[in-house]
Chains A and B, each alone.
Chain A
Amino acid sequence: MYRYDEFDHGFVRQRVAQFRGQVARRLDGALTEDEFKPLRLMNGLYLQLHAYMLRVAIPYGTLSARQMRRLADIARRYDKGFGHFTTRQNIQYNWIRLEDAPDILADLADVEMHAIQTSGNCIRNVTADQFAGVAADEIEDPRVYAEIIRQWSTLHPEFSFLPRKFKIAITGAPRDRAAVRAHDIGLRMHWNADGEAGFEIMVGGGLGRTPVIGKTIRAFLPKQDLLSYLEAILRVYNQLGRRDNIHKARIKILVNQVGAETFADMVEAEWREIRGGALDLPADEIARIESYFAPPDYERLDAASPAFEAQRRSDPAFAQWVRSNVVAHKRPGYAIANISLKPAGGVPGDASAEQMEVVADLAERYGFGEIRVAHEQNLVLPDVRLSDLHALWQELRTAGLATANIGLLTDIIACPGLDYCNLANARSIPIAQRIGQRFDDLARLHDIGRLTLNISGCINACAHHHVGNIGILGVNKKGVEYYQVTLGGNADENAALGDLVGPAFSGEEIADAVETIVDTYLEQRDRGEQFLDTYRRVGLQPFKEKLYAAH
């Protein structure tokens, strides 16, 4: 993992001291709320419905056990004993007091954490594939480049007041687990014809009010040019992005307006001016950052574990968990274990302080002390020996963390919605809970197969509803919560926006509507098809007919 150097330590400490002074000046009246608000937001502190909310950055979703314990400690000492993992691989605390915020940031700084780049019109915390460094299909560990981007972008003077916030996601594998086409910039590593690894550059993706799938503006960019090319994109956007209308300020609007080709030409022109200069990434600098992400001391293991195979045969519940929650590792004898934060009827992405501590403990005992946060609001233990999986699973089960539903219908992405969020129009969490309870049958879930369901409580789309196979958007009609449904969205390398199925459903009807959609799919599906395959083959019509038959 990346370790802070003295510069990083000093800088974060300095920020905490500054914020402590700012809070004191706010409380004694030297700063008005209008003056203070941008300062607190630069430190991740929002004011939500019930209290202040602190959003803590988890760069590229990688945490150490020590950091996770500190997150648990903060949840217990300063909040109500739980935290909420978000679709940007961050954690949010919902019940923070302004007075406590400087102490919390100081506690975070002790473990090399902070809340920088979690708010404001800057380049936000960079997200990455949660299986970075361990995925069997990976070309290179994308966290190396995410960290390089972090160092370049943190407090970048030219890009601290962009027209709007700016999100970058990166994948080092052909299988896109980071939803890169739903970001302002998406980076996908691949090999060119000469066998050299570099990046495909996608721009102008984003969800929210105007959902757009990102467009490729450069098929291949050599690694050493990464920062100069990103700087060129940001410069074009910073100059031409609209500052007069918040709804038209994201880069996607600019790219749509001028067209991807023209936008690419503008970026290339800017890039020619700065390429090969101070932002060039020398191979030794890439190697230096790579050394922070060097693989741990893996044992030499056989690719197969007879003990694991026997446990899988004799214990059907374990076999089921392995099927949905365990993913191939690039090293023989190891596996990636996903920890679902989506128990039936639970709050998607929430973890109690006790659960965080259990995960930290398990990461040390069954791995190398590393934990990942997935943008689907789950946790990952990246380095588990196959022969340890059964013991791990038993301990997870004791902690209520062994739900075998990763990638299945109840692995719901949900934003905090109207239960917590100031922007929301409708509640998300109770809808997720209702659907979770409705489908609380693992055998049925596994039969339904891969199906993503995302619920956002407003048009800002924090829960990525446009790219859920089933997308649910909460709206407010004359004071009453209603839910619009889209079908066929997809967040992976074949990213697509869902199609609106028809008039919205009430909160009481929505779980029935989801069940009708699932039943229609099961009636229509051909052998071997997943939901998305069937949907692409049959289209919206059969679903529409069933959903609105009674209307």
Chain B
Amino acid sequence: MSQQAVTANRLRDGQVVYLAANNGWSDRLADAAVADDADAAKALLATAEGDVDRRVVVGPYLFDVAVETGAVRPLGQRETIRASGPSIQPDTGDRAVRR
């Protein structure tokens, strides 16, 4: 099985977030806690579910990652786009990130 991390959307603003090693949530994939086996993955998801009840995030789930030279990289296209934003070239107006 590949390594896994947990992602969700933050309740208040919908921002993509990752469950970090300190059990907090980060908007940077680099901070994501990575599970090496199924038990660790299950534990991460259980922690995340607790934060659904605490109204921090919605819809947490596990996704596959690879850790290469210390950097976490999503394995699928969908999670790559969630992590780095739309892949499209900006073309209209001022798209300064408002965060």
A81 CA to B13 CA, complexed, in Å: 17
A29 interfacial contact with B, CB 8 Å: yes
A79 interfacial contact with B, CB 8 Å: yes
B1 interfacial contact with A, CB 8 Å: no
Given A95-B98, A355-B92, A52–B55 Cβ distance below 8 Å? Answer: no
Residues from chain B with Cβ under 8 Å of A351 in the complex: 92
A48 CA to B16 CA, complexed, in Å: 10
Residues from chain B with Cβ under 8 Å of A352 in the complex: 92-94
**Is B9 in contact with A479, judged by CB distance below 8 angstroms?**
no
**Is A97 in contact with B93, judged by CB distance below 8 angstroms?**
no
Residue of A nearest to B11 (CB): A98
Interface magnitude class on chain A: 35 or more
B58-99 CB contacts (< 8 Å) to partner A: 58-59, 75-78, 81-82, 85-89, 91-98
Interface magnitude class on chain B: 20 to 34
**Is A50 in contact with B82, judged by CB distance below 8 angstroms?**
yes
Given A81-B94, A352-B93, A50–B86 Cβ distance below 8 Å? Answer: yes
**Is B87 in contact with A81, judged by CB distance below 8 angstroms?**
no
Q: Identify which of A49, A429, A479 contacts B82 (C-beta below 8 A).
A: A49
A515 interfacial contact with B, CB 8 Å: no
A80 CA to B55 CA, complexed, in Å: 25
A178 interfacial contact with B, CB 8 Å: no
Report whether over half of chain B's contact residues are helix, strand or loop; otherwise say mixed: loop
**Is B11 in contact with A27, judged by CB distance below 8 angstroms?**
yes
Residue of B nearest to A436 (CB): B91
Stretch at the interface among A135-143, A232-240, A340-348, A377-385: A340-348
Residues from chain A with Cβ under 8 Å of B95 in the complex: 80-82
**Is A479 in contact with B88, judged by CB distance below 8 angstroms?**
no
A466 CA to B9 CA, complexed, in Å: 33
A354 interfacial contact with B, CB 8 Å: yes
A326 CA to B54 CA, complexed, in Å: 56
**Is B12 in contact with A99, judged by CB distance below 8 angstroms?**
yes
A 355-394 binary contact with B (CB < 8 Å = 1; else 0): 1000000000000000000000000000000000000000
**Is B55 in contact with A98, judged by CB distance below 8 angstroms?**
no
A289 interfacial contact with B, CB 8 Å: no
B23 interfacial contact with A, CB 8 Å: no
A96 CA to B10 CA, complexed, in Å: 12
A304 interfacial contact with B, CB 8 Å: no
**Is A52 in contact with B14, judged by CB distance below 8 angstroms?**
yes
Residue of A nearest to B94 (CB): A81
Task: Give the distance to chain B from A309, nearest Cβ to Cβ, in Å.
Answer: 34
Residues from chain A with Cβ under 8 Å of B97 in the complex: 80
Residue of A nearest to B79 (CB): A49
A 63-101 binary contact with B (CB < 8 Å = 1; else 0): 000000000000000011110000000000001111100
B52 interfacial contact with A, CB 8 Å: yes
A481 interfacial contact with B, CB 8 Å: yes
Residue of A nearest to B58 (CB): A33
Known: A49-B78, A50-B15, A347-B92. 4 other contacts (CB 8 A): A347-B88, A419-B81, A419-B86, A480-B77
On A, residues with C-beta under 8 Å from B are 26-27, 29, 33, 47-52, 79-82, 95-99, 343, 345-347, 350-355, 400, 418-420, 426-427, 429-430, 433, 476, 479-481
A–B pairs, 16, beta carbons within 8 Å: A26-B11, A27-B55, A49-B16, A50-B15, A80-B97, A81-B94, A82-B92, A99-B12, A346-B91, A352-B92, A355-B92, A418-B77, A418-B78, A419-B88, A427-B87, A433-B88
